[in-house]
Amino acid sequence: MAKGTESKAFAAVTESSDIDGLALRDMAKRVASIDTLQAFMDELKSRAAAKVATN
């Protein structure tokens, strides 16, 4: 993850810093929303592929 597309977020969460609780909470929400979007897109692709296969 340190070299992936979310490397800056990974570094910010794993490195020691002076980040306050609110900023950390907001960053955690942003990271979670990426996971949620990815899960949605994976499901959408799966359904589209299944629909194409049955037609």
pLDDT, tens digit, 9 for 90 and up, residues 10-40: 777 777 667 678 887 887 888 888 888 888 9
Backbone phi, psi, residue 40, to 5°: -60, -45
pLDDT band at 42 (very low <50, low <70, confident <90, very high): very high
SS3 6: coil
For residues 11 and 2, is the Cβ–Cβ distance under 8 A?
Answer: yes
Q: Does pTM surpass 0.75?
A: no
Distance of CA 39 to the CA centre of its chain: 9
